[in-house]
Structure 1
């Protein structure tokens, strides 16, 4: 499964339990600077293309970002070499 040209580091990851921490409440994530994730359909029309409507209405269109640009699954599943990845490194985290 692993290519002969690949390199690896043998050992144990430090602080491996870090990813299993339950932050407990929204406030603790706010202390870390993480803002709430608000759905577009919960916004007003001035804030998002999916916003507005009477009562709980669906978005009424294909998924788009707040600027109106199409979002969601639009590309192929991945590269052929992705099956060689044993575990991703997650080098950069999504901010915001």
Structure 2
């Protein structure tokens, strides 16, 4: 491996990307053109220069499983397989704070200090406040089908757009 200062001294620096000379174990941005297969990446662009959209949350990681022509195949942690352009930017390594959901705050007040307000169940509300509300004592949901507070159906209704632009990029959907 050569040092970056040595690389700057070379006259033909513009003929290749920096990733040919730098180790990939540092957390940097790169295109998937020069990444070896199996590289863990996150914060991936789906469309060129649009910004990172895939694998943003804590602990998320995506693996480069194949490169062919102008596209690269990526395997997400949800076991979905995406086909993206090699020129889309990504950040190497896994997102930190992996065990964010493993720690226990201990009591309700600790959560309140983090500005996480208590959530009231819809069943205990009045009928004017929530579709599940109303009824005497411990009545179940008052409607035939569950709904969100704004009246639209909930629990099982598909919310993804039918003709979303990323449908063409998904090679294999996640199993339910």
Asked if TM exceeds 0.5, the reply is yes
Normalised by the size of structure 1, how large is the TM-score? Answer: 0.62
Asked which structure has the greater CA Rg, the reply is 2
Matched with 2:105 is 23
Matched with 1:68 is 151
RMSD (Å) for aligned C-alpha atoms: 3.0
Query: Would you say how many aligned residue pairs link Structure 1 and Structure 2?
Result: 82
Instruction: Report matched runs for 1:3-22 at 5 Å.
Output: 3-4=66-67, 5-6=72-73, 11=93, 14-22=96-104
- Structure 1 runs (4+) deviating above 2 angstroms are 1-4, 6-19, 79-83
Answer 1 or 2: which has greater helix percent: 1
Partners of 2:133 and 2:96 in 1: how far apart?
44
Shift in Å at residue 70 of structure 1? Answer: 1.4
Partners of 1:19 and 1:38 in 2: how far apart?
22
Matched, 1:36 2:105: no
Instruction: Report matched runs for 1:44-55 at 5 Å.
Output: 44-55=126-137
**Structure 1 unaligned spans of 5+:** 84-96
Partners of 2:109 and 2:66 in 1: how far apart?
45
Relative distance call for 1:16 and 1:65 in structure 2 (3 A) is closer
Answer 1 or 2: which has greater strand percent: 2
Shift in Å at residue 40 of structure 1? Answer: 1.0
Pick aligned residue for 1:59 from 141, 157, 166? 141
